Structure 1
Amino acid sequence: MTAGNGDTGAGDNAETGNAVLELIDRVRPPLRGLIAAGLAAAGGLMLMLGSVLPWVAGPDADAVTYGVAASATGGSALGSRAGIAGGDALVTLLAGIVAVGLAGWYGLGRARRWQQTALFGAASLALAWTVLDFVEVGDTAGPDGARWDIGPGIGLYVCLLGGLAVLTAAGSAPRDVEQDLRVLGHRAEQLAARGLGFEAIEKQQQLLRRARRRPGWQDPRLTFEALYLARLYLNVGHVDRAVRLVHEVMGGADERFGGDQEGLAAARAEAGSVIVDANAQVAAAGHPAYWPAGWAD
């Protein structure tokens, strides 16, 4: 998780913001995310390429019929389902598109649990269709009922490798709950930096709702996340909500930080900075200060 950057708030508190950021990690795409992105992108591209390459090879490949074809007896017979013409390659093509799209999200460090599930689903479908055609492509009969001299084409081999790469990407994809929280915190900071204060508040509130379940409210890092939310409230003019939140979060700060006096001091400094800016806003409107200026001391 990340604490909010004080540079986005009102007033001059860059020094406090930097002190807070030293205590916790900034958001960067983790190594597992980059590996997953590379494998998903490579596998997805291979699935897309293999889908348009020939799935049937052999001396009789040109004579293969696809879908429903007329039989020698005047009825109808089911031809090969391989490749684009047979329809099965449409499944692998779609799986490849999904994998490439998800690779972009992992490359940006925006890992989500549903993305891993989607990768598993795409890989499983692609592999199921590919293996099925591997088994059946050599057992395809012509309209006269005779078996053709055919075998798997290069497209099937490429799709098989691509499906395995996407499956490996799903297995290596980050699925740590805290990574989801770091992504939400990073998104809140981005929105705030763009001046989208209410959207940033929504993301930060979502982060805190999730974080209360895990790692739990007693984690001292959530103190900084709550103080950043107070800063966001202040940025959009919700001074009452900002001050009320600072009161609430700092009320149990001593217990949360335990013996971490450095962390507690940083939290108090950030809380004091929020209150100073809140006092400045209400003073400009002709109202009395919320807290005395020396509270953080």
Structure 2
Amino acid sequence: MISENMRGAGLMMLAMVGFTLNDTALKTLAGEVPLFQLLFIRGVLATAALAVMAHFMGQLDFRMSRRDMKWVSLRAIGEASAAYFFLTALFHMPLANATAILQTLPLTVTLGAALFMGMPFGWRRGSTILIGFIGVLLIVRPGTEGFNQYSVYALMAVLCVTLRDLSTRLVSQAVPSITVTVTSAAGVMVFFGALQLPATWEPMALTEIGLLLAATTSIVGGYAFSVMVMRIGDISFIAPFRYTGLIWALILGWVVFGDWPHPLTLIGGGIVVASGIYMLYREAIVGRRLSPRNLARGGR
């Protein structure tokens, strides 16, 4: 008999597979289809799929207070901005490098919550965040040939996702998680649709359409598993399995693109992952676990 925790861990790993497959498919399309066009089409398809899923779950409810609308809107802005910065970086750097930088999220969210939301912040959290950022420096390696504007774009993506997740924490429990996810997907669709309007629409070959459909299916699956995983098991046990996404990024980056990270990148990624896991452990110890709603909404 499989325990609830093990089922939750399996679903979390499936969610990470979905997100990493989405990134891989989109990276394959880099240079073939304009970014704004890609994200608009994916936004249309993902919004429709998520809306249908939310409807059948009985949780598609856009009625919310002005306060909640403000934070949901800010979350959508963070989501759209993160998509732009992360995918721009991803198109110009190895998959594993970009994914490793994104693993700093538990650290940056904890720091942001302390700075802007008055959450407790002791020397253990401070030391963990500092060590994690040292890991990031090993990944991007400022001053070397590997450091360029796209490394900065990846860091900007982290800031934007941090804004997204902090905004999510401020949305009241009255708003269903899947509704927030649908709203963010729709915001991404509208944002990139507006940017694509003055641009030339490029025709897509069948292979490119197939890859885009694969990316959409993967990210919708990732979100679906993220919602499912928060309904079972102990989140303090399940949450660290989100770092399996980095393993998939290493494998797919090597198999699909022939990229294998520099040894310092691997060391830096290991430091970031270890710091993030310890931060999640500390959250559980002090009773300030990340809310299941927040993790489900945040996706990654």
Normalising by structure 1, what TM-score?
Answer: 0.28
Greater relative CO (CA pairs within 8 A, separation 6+): 2
Normalising by structure 2, what TM-score?
Answer: 0.28
Larger Rg: 1
